[in-house]
């Protein structure tokens, strides 16, 4: 997909800029390019060299996050692994990405068709997984799958705000999300 492999130099710079953009813009979506450059430890002109315009940077940020999102779901093998396992693994993986790239994933008006395509793909995978969960008897067959998916996204979004560090904490978070999704507030599940 990349006809010309980037120089090691360049790649480091691009990554630094994207990470800085996530950090700065999540605090203030209207932050000027200069703040992003400063946070990335580069000159403002360098940002403009890598990303022609502010819009291009935002767009690239969205595409980058969408890619990580897609990888996170793929890694859970939602179409082949046992559905309850896949749901748990996908939750953990997506939580990780969302904690680090929350702005780029959520508060971004991504009008890019390429990004929309990835999100549609993930949505389709999510819905297939829910159907598999229904077949396994984990979800009632009369459940509204669209509402289910929206609640699932919303719970992940909410949980990611806690932004814990350790693996154990993220496991606990994922467990809580799935518990709440399937059984609502109340006693934790004893499976």
Partner DNA sequence: ATAACTTGCGTCATTCATGTTGCAAGTCAT
Partner DNA sequence: ATGACTTGCAACATGAATGACGCAAGTTAT
For binding to a copy of itself (CB under 8 A), which residues are involved?
A: 28-30, 107, 109, 139-140, 142-143, 147-148, 150-151, 154-155, 157-158, 176, 180-188
d(CA 182, CA 134): 12
Residue nearer to DNA on the CB measure, 52 or 168 = 52
Buried b (16+ CB within 10 A) or exposed e, 4-28: eeeeeeeeebbebbbbbbbbbbeee
Q: Is 187 in the site for DNA (CB under 7 A)?
A: no
Cα–Cα distance for residue pair 129/77, rounded to 1 Å: 10
Instruction: Provide the minimum distance between the beta carbon of 28 and DNA in the complex, in angstroms, as a whole number.
Output: 10
CA dihedral of residues 152, 155, 161, 164 (deg, nearest 10): -80
- Closest approach, Cβ 19 to DNA, in A, equals 14
- Report angle CA 177, 28, 35 to the nearest 5 degrees: 130
Tokens (6 digits) for 14 = 């691009």
Characterise 57 by phi-psi region: left (phi > 0), alpha (psi -120 to 50), beta (else): alpha
The answer to whether residue 7 forms part of the interface with DNA (CB under 7 A) is yes
Distance in Å, CB of 13 to a copy of itself, minimum: 27
Distance in Å, CB of 100 to DNA, minimum: 22
Residue 32 or 82: the one with the smaller Cβ distance to DNA is 32
Distance CA 59, CA 47 (A): 14
Comparison of 43 and 143: residue with beta carbon closer to a copy of itself? 143
Binds DNA (CB under 7 A): choice among 24, 25, 33, 174: 33
| Residue 89 lies near DNA (rule: CB under 7 A) | no
Interface segment toward DNA; rule CB under 7 A; list 26-34, 94-102, 155-163, 165-173: 26-34
> Which residues of this protein are in contact with DNA, per CB under 7 A?
6-10, 13, 32-34, 41-46, 48-50, 52-55
């Amino acid at each position: 997909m990349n006809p010309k492999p980037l120089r090691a130099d360049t790649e480091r710079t691009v990554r630094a800029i994207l990470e800085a953009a996530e950090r700065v813009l999540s605090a203030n979506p209207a932050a000027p390019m200069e703040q992003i450059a400063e946070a990335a430890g580069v000159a403002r002109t360098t940002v403009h060299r890598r990303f022609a315009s502010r819009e291009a940077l935002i767009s690239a940020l969205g595409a980058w996050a969408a890619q990580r999102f897609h990888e996170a779901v793929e890694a859970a093998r939602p179409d082949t692994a046992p559905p309850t396992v896949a749901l748990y693994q996908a939750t953990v993986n997506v939580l990780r990405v969302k904690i680090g790239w929350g702005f780029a994933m959520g508060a971004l008006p991504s009008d890019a068709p390429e990004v929309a395509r990835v999100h549609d793909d993930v949505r389709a995978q999510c819905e297939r997984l829910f159907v598999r969960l229904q077949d396994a008897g984990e979800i009632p067959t009369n459940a509204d799958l669209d509402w289910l998916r929206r609640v699932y996204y919303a719970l992940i979004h909410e949980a990611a705000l806690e932004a814990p560090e350790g693996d154990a904490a993220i496991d606990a978070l994922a467990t809580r999300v799935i518990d709440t999704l399937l059984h609502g507030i109340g006693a934790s599940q004893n499976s």
